[in-house]
Amino acid sequence: MNQNKQPSNFKLAQTGRIVSLLLGSIFTCVSVAIAPTFAAPAVSTNSKLAASAPLADVLKGTNNTVPATPAADKIAQASDVAGNWAEPFIRALVEKDIIKGYPDGTFRPDQPVTRAEFAALLNKAFNLTEIRAARNFKDVPKNYWAAEAIQKAYQGGFLSGYPNGTFAPKQNIIRIQSLVSIVNGSKLEPSGNLDLNGVFGDAAQVPSYGQNALIAATQRCVAVSVEYNSSMLPGGNFGPNTVATRADVAAYIHQVLVGAGRLTALDKANPANKYVASCPNGVYITSIEQPKPVAMTADEAIAKLGIPSQVPEIVASAPTSTFPVGGLGTPTAFGANWGDFFLGAGYQGNTRPNIYSNANLPSSPNATPAEKQQGPETYAYSVGLGLGDARSFLGLETVATTYNRSGAGNPGSFENGGVSFKLHKLLGDSFAIAGGIENAITFGNNPGTPGFGTNGGVQSAYGVASLILNPDPNMGFFSNTTLSVGAGGGRFRSVGDIRNPNAKDNVNVFGSLGTRLFSNVSLVGDWNGQDLSVGLPITIPFGGGSALQITPAIVDIANPETGGSRFSVSGGLGFHF
């Protein structure tokens, strides 16, 4: 059966960092423009395909437009449901009119779920009993299509807002957050002890606020994951920090309603039972009661349910919900963390003239034909990984690069190269700072002297800060615009400083500005200290936390001193383990 393990925004974001934000700083031995991926939460990171527009926006209506629903049998037979790993769960909910699809007859099971859509699903599936007073959220206007559903989910104890008075309706919800919400709202509690490490291979990744909820869900056959196989112990991963898809949420709701007696359990022979953690052959451990009215004050009810400490209001352990766009050939402050690994390659048909050793610049009227001539075609290859965690402490990005210039007398691949390091720190979801040394360790004919090669000094120390100006987890048109500004020596110096033997310690400003045109396509402008480049990073996400990025670019387009514009192309394959 096709499992349709498509990447979420969070992992796409993560993998985007891997394939792009990282690659922007690795080809330091040649003038190869490497572009960002973001990604993503991937995701998103964390991998997953980017979310489409929210349900209401698809209808092209006003903010208070209620999503229309096609006939149930049309949804159940939709081509994007047939063969999906969660098809049996989805079909059962559709037949009872508990879950709905889109006006075009699709269900989009692999589409990430926003908090607003999740609230709407909860309203349809559960009898939400009010346990606390309503709350006004600054980012949920009264005419917003999901305003009523959000209020009911909040008053029922299923969802909470954020300390700054917002609800973040368009923010994608991750699996553990959605499961915690359903478990809390359904008043499920752990029964006895259960070692999650014996059930899930990634139990160590479950944030503290979600551990009890996952135990309770596992004991009652509510913990469902496409990454799980109940025929093995541990049966695989739950993927707690992966963005929840419509298929994921449908499976959770189905299992809760089975325990409540509102739906019939899957047939024991149904292959989808293997995705239900510790619940072989669909045997349900205990029943689940629908929540009943609580005869206590709102504060007492909230304390009893543990809402302040368990609902998604606590975000310290959650992945970032923003997806930066990195530079081309310059570093940004976002980088690789533990579990990130990537491979990269770049190509230019021509490189800059040797402006650092020639007597005259190509733009000089006295320049000879040889001094105007661009350099040979060049290839670059890299491998990198991340250590640490930029959110909780510090992340360390390490990249090894080698390059090859065509022509007689030029070194081959793996004969020249270097190793670069970058320490980076994430401050919130939208701002980061970093410092690093490119080619801190060199090998081959790579001495690091100011007169060598196309970068005018191999070893380059720098500091950089990056800010996402308009974060959007749905990665819409012209979203996640990212500004990076830094200062550094070495290759970041001006042409004049690089050619001046007395200016080897000078520093210069570099930076980049990128924005997301579509979920998988970005536009980036990059100033490397000497000239401007423009690129179009294109991301192709795969399953399993990996993605490919291909970036065509035009480099050196503004400064005649660098020898004229050229075309380059780079690519990278990123993984998150």
Taking the domains of the chain in order of start, what are their residue ranges? 9-23+30-46+320-576
Write the pLDDT tens digit of every residue in 403-427.
777 664 555 556 778 899 999 998 8
| Beta-strand pair 546-555/538-542 | antiparallel
Q: 246-259 vs 87-95: helix axis angle to the nearest 10?
A: 60
What pLDDT score does 291 carry? 38
Name the amino acid, one letter, at 59: L
Q: How far apart are CA 468 and CA 490, in angstroms?
A: 27
355 touches 562 (CB < 8 A):
yes
What tokens does 151 get? Answer: 């209020």
Name beta bridge partners: 555: 566
Q: In this structure, which topology does domain 9-23+30-46+320-576 adopt according to CATH?
A: Porin (2.40.160)
CA-nearest of 532, 332, 326 to 424 is 332
The whole-angstrom separation of Cα 450 and Cα 298 is 69
Mean pLDDT of the chain: 74
CB neighbour list of residue 84: distance below 8 Å, 6 or more residues apart: 2, 3, 4, 90, 109, 110, 247
Q: Could you give the CA distance from residue 434 to residue 425 in angstroms, rounded to a whole number?
A: 6
According to DSSP, the residues that pair with 398 across neighbouring strands are 385, 421
Q: Which residues of the chain have pLDDT under 70?
A: 1-79, 231, 233-234, 279-323, 355-359, 362-363, 367, 370-375, 406-414, 429, 445-458, 472-476, 543-545, 577
Q: What's the token pair of residue 207?
A: 């944030």
Instruction: Answer for the pair 38, 522: CB distance below 8 angstroms, yes or no.
Output: yes
Q: Which amino acid is residue 530, in one-letter code?
A: Q
Q: What is the pLDDT of residues 519-556, one digit of tens each?
A: 788 999 999 999 999 999 998 877 555 778 899 999 99
- How is residue 467 written in tokens? 């800010």
Q: 175-185 vs 115-125: helix axis angle to the nearest 10? A: 30
Candidates 397, 273, 391, 289; CA nearest to 335 is 397
* Predicted local distance difference test score (pLDDT) of residue 192: 76
Rg over CA atoms, the chain = 26
Tell me, what's the pLDDT at 309?
26
DSSP conformation class of 21: I
Report the candidate in 316, 205, 242, 178 with the shortest Cα–Cα distance to residue 45: 242
For residue 248, which of 149, 109, 138, 128 has the smallest C-alpha distance? 109
To the question of pTM greater than 0.85 for the whole model, the response is: no
Residues 298-310 have pLDDT tens digits of: 333 333 333 222 2
Question: Distance between alpha carbon 284 and the CA centroid of its chain, in Å?
Answer: 35
Tell me which DSSP letter residue 540 carries: E
What is residue 473's predicted lDDT score, i.e. its pLDDT? Answer: 53
- Are 561 and 362 a contacting pair, CB within 8 Å? yes
Can you give the pLDDT at residue 301?
A: 32
